[in-house]
Structure 1
Amino acid sequence: MKELHELVDWIIDKGICSNSIEEILLGVSKRLVELGYPLLRTSILMPTIDPAQRGFSVSWSSIEGVSTEIQAHGSAGQELFERSPIFHLLSNDLLFARWKLSAGEGTHSYPLLSELLEQGATEYALKLTSFPGETVLKGVGFSMAVDGPLGLSEEQIDDLDTFLPALALACYRIAATRISTEMLAVYTGPRTSGRILSGQTARGEGTAIYAAILLADLKNFTSLSEAYEASRIVAWLNEHFEAIGGAVEANGGEILKFMGDSVLAIFPADIDMPATACRKALAAAKIAHAANDDLNRKRLAAGDPEILVDIVLHVGEIFYGNVGSSRRLDFTAIGKAVNEAARIERLCDEVGRNLLVSASFADHFETEFERVGTFTLRGVTAAADVYGLSADSRREPDM
């Protein structure tokens, strides 16, 4: 019993100082083996909130070591989930179950148990620790597969109640931190989320940065919204945002905001050497247009309407920080440069171009652009020279 309490102390210590569930499971598994558990495999199972996954499991195997598996959303992921031991517990309001694999229990119903039997497991036990009232991380599952001829002893089963609460809390602490960090990045972008988590949360707090700006606007989306049902519009919108967003992120930019049918992204720049950021922004714009054209070809072939995109590139100083009310903030970019980019975007239809750039942006290139004209931008005192791609530069990039 002393050794078991030492295990609990070790788990608590690691739960405080470690950010790795994998490290904790490895340590717990090795210590249980030292205590006489004939372990073949252990695993920790947890739900999560993520656009791409419904949950994850971390497993330790005496043969393969530690691995992590993600359970995806969708019909395929749901089918696998419904054929798992943990689904059996959840759907029957159970916190514990065990299967004598050597007697064939559960091996015909659950592929995992059949696989473990083939590997030599004699018994599988799964116990859930629930967190009543928790809406996201509702609990933690811990499983053990053993290959001893007698399976698990009753004493070893009882030991779960001694060390599992500490293990569940340690995993909860790590998973909660991961979720808050990763989901904040999903909604605000990795750079922005990093600033927020570092403590930049006061209204008005931020900094002036120099950046290349990419503003993309999907054309005629309002009229399409009136002609097609909302579910189709949302699906199309997501496809085009993926095409644009993927190009931005692949070139080191960060999407700050989706505004209806528009995207605002920045490429932070060195004020003394902004050309690198401008080149990245231009590469992203070309790739976004190529990906968007590919989408439209497929949609037209299916008898659906095409959705074109106008993109404006600019470079200048922006305020990058918190704006909003006292309890509802938006970490975004505002300033003269952002406003000018929005005004230039309205010229795309007038001049018949789907990519326009400001003079300050074009200045960082030698032959890439040609002047389209000089225009008065609403709210801007001085007339603005606006540029488009030169004839030699109007080619699709390699995808």
Structure 2
Amino acid sequence: MTHALDLLLHLPPDRLPGALRLISYMLGEARAAADADTVLTRMSELIRAGGVPLDRATSIVPLLHAEAVASARFWERGKGARSYLFPYNAESGQGYAHSPAADVHKTGEWVVLWLPDTPDGRYGIVPELKADGYTHYIMAPVFMRSGMAGTFSFATRAADGFPADDIRFLRAVFPALSACQEILTTARAMQEALRIYVGEEPQRRIISGDVHRGEVMHIRSAILFADMRRFTELTAGMTAEQATGLLNAYYDCIVPPVEGAGGEVLKLIGDGILAIFRAEEDGEQTCARALAAAREGLARVAARTDQPQFGVGIALHFGEVAFGNVGSGMRLDYTVIGRDVNLAARVAALCGAMDAPLLVSAEFRQRARLKGHSLGKQALKGLQEQEEVFAVSTS
């Protein structure tokens, strides 16, 4: 920071106001921005207003995301900003290894390339930059307190590239750029991590301050409970990796249809899946969405050709779920509780005994206006009153 202050104090007088405006924006308005593309665009415009001939800027940050490893945002003069997610797969690290990002993260130093003299093989991005007419390219690392690391890059098509005063300008404002990126990245990472492990609604509640034991929120909804049949038997001879693979195949059948129909997966309980569909008005359309998701999930299970094959039982009910913090001391679990949740789980347990892949409660059947085949009133473990259960078509 002292070095950056020295650079600020030694900027040419005509550059200092632009640098201060940029710093003020990055440490003020940008920190609360909802759209990171807007931040990158405004940052780039202010860099240009400060006298730097910027034609391209990028911000790359790591993600705590189940399906992506990083987010890249690109700004180009005259084109605005766009974003791209780097997917998580077997090739995720290959592009990074041959990038300037790998070098700046390893050394902590900026990479500065005068492109006319840079061999095409230096980095994977060099031929692309040359083909687009860029002359000078800079990448700088952002190291965050959390241990995550991001980058900014800057490029120009100016014939003379970035003169020394331009580079001094960028170095002088860079601590503010880094601080803003860290703030936005940390906030996003916290939301993503919570979303992965507790679901969308609990994530929102926790972030908003619902972290005290005993606080409860009630939601009317269609409730879906899915259960893989014979999971213990199927995995008895499997390694932990094979059993995990089987569970993931099962989740891939059920979870996407639920989310695609507007449902929220609240819990992955071993071979059980608990999801809700928030109710609107009388719940008829809500129940229709839940039924469609259940049928599509069962169709995906039936269409599997990989071994081992497995069956799934799904129960649907309409009622109320309660989100609440339970636990002791500093260790809490944000979970879903209530009679209607228990009822859905108990009905799902009947699927195997009744040899019926899709069962619904009387309440769900009535709201969804289904016909169904009554299996009579059933005694459900833990519930005092018997519940009439209906088998419905899976298509």
TM-score (norm 2): 0.90
Alignment correspondent of 1:26:
41
**Are the aligned partners of 1:213 and 1:314 in contact in 2 as well (CA < 8 Å)?**
yes
How far apart are residue 367 of structure 1 and its match? 4.5
Aligned amino acid, residue 9 of structure 1 = S
Alignment correspondent of 2:243:
233
Alignment correspondent of 1:15:
30
Alignment correspondent of 1:61:
76
Alignment correspondent of 1:172:
182
Residues 371 and 161 of structure 1, relative CA distance in 2, 3 Å threshold: same
Alignment correspondent of 1:317:
320
Cα displacement string for residues 71-125 of structure 1 (whole angstroms, at most 9, x for unaligned residues): 222233322112211112234x23212111112x142232312111111111111
Residues 10 and 394 of structure 1, relative CA distance in 2, 3 Å threshold: closer
User: What does residue range 200-349 of structure 1 map to in structure 2 within 5 Å?
Assistant: 200-270=210-280, 273-295=282-304, 298-299=305-306, 304-349=307-352
Q: CA RMSD in A?
A: 2.0
Aligned amino acid, residue 258 of structure 2 = V
How far apart are residue 45 of structure 1 and its match? 2.0
**Are the aligned partners of 1:43 and 1:143 in contact in 2 as well (CA < 8 Å)?**
yes
**Are the aligned partners of 1:212 and 1:266 in contact in 2 as well (CA < 8 Å)?**
yes
Aligned amino acid, residue 273 of structure 1 = D
Residues 120 and 219 of structure 1, relative CA distance in 2, 3 Å threshold: same
| Equivalent in 134, 141, 147 of residue 121 of structure 1 | 134
**Are the aligned partners of 1:207 and 1:319 in contact in 2 as well (CA < 8 Å)?**
yes
Aligned amino acid, residue 325 of structure 1 = S
**Are the aligned partners of 1:113 and 1:124 in contact in 2 as well (CA < 8 Å)?**
no
Counterpart CA distance in 2 for 1:344 and 1:176 is 42
Counterpart CA distance in 2 for 1:244 and 1:172 is 36
Residues 363 and 187 of structure 1, relative CA distance in 2, 3 Å threshold: same
Deviates more, 1:279-288 or 1:180-189: 180-189
Question: Does 2:76 correspond to 1:73?
Answer: no
Question: Does 2:389 correspond to 1:377?
Answer: no
**Are the aligned partners of 1:310 and 1:348 in contact in 2 as well (CA < 8 Å)?**
yes
**Are the aligned partners of 1:15 and 1:169 in contact in 2 as well (CA < 8 Å)?**
no
Counterpart CA distance in 1 for 2:128 and 2:33 is 32
Question: Does 2:200 correspond to 1:152?
Answer: no
Alignment correspondent of 1:350:
353
Cα displacement string for residues 287-324 of structure 1 (whole angstroms, at most 9, x for unaligned residues): 110111112xx21xxxx220110111112233222222
| Equivalent in 101, 107, 126 of residue 115 of structure 2 | 101
Aligned amino acid, residue 146 of structure 2 = E
Counterpart CA distance in 1 for 2:394 and 2:111 is 64
Cα displacement string for residues 313-354 of structure 1 (whole angstroms, at most 9, x for unaligned residues): 112233222222232222222121222222222322222111
SS in 2 for 1:372: strand
Counterpart CA distance in 2 for 1:168 and 1:19 is 18
How far apart are residue 379 of structure 1 and its match? 2.7
Question: Does 2:122 correspond to 1:112?
Answer: no
Counterpart CA distance in 2 for 1:28 and 1:340 is 54
Residues 184 and 312 of structure 1, relative CA distance in 2, 3 Å threshold: same
Counterpart CA distance in 2 for 1:142 and 1:203 is 42
**Are the aligned partners of 1:315 and 1:360 in contact in 2 as well (CA < 8 Å)?**
yes
Residues 190 and 37 of structure 1, relative CA distance in 2, 3 Å threshold: same
Unaligned 5+ runs, structure 1 = none
How far apart are residue 37 of structure 1 and its match? 2.1
| Equivalent in 61, 71, 85 of residue 46 of structure 1 | 61
**Are the aligned partners of 1:42 and 1:145 in contact in 2 as well (CA < 8 Å)?**
yes
Residues 9 and 339 of structure 1, relative CA distance in 2, 3 Å threshold: closer
How far apart are residue 184 of structure 1 and its match? 1.7
How far apart are residue 394 of structure 1 and its match? 4.2
Aligned amino acid, residue 295 of structure 2 = K
Counterpart CA distance in 2 for 1:106 and 1:185 is 43
Residues 384 and 99 of structure 1, relative CA distance in 2, 3 Å threshold: same
**Are the aligned partners of 2:51 and 2:166 in contact in 1 as well (CA < 8 Å)?**
no
Question: Does 2:198 correspond to 1:195?
Answer: no
Residues 337 and 10 of structure 1, relative CA distance in 2, 3 Å threshold: closer
SS in 2 for 1:49: coil
**Are the aligned partners of 1:215 and 1:342 in contact in 2 as well (CA < 8 Å)?**
yes
Cα displacement string for residues 258-311 of structure 1 (whole angstroms, at most 9, x for unaligned residues): 1111101112225x713232222211111110111112xx21xxxx22011011
How far apart are residue 156 of structure 1 and its match? 1.7
Counterpart CA distance in 1 for 2:39 and 2:348 is 52
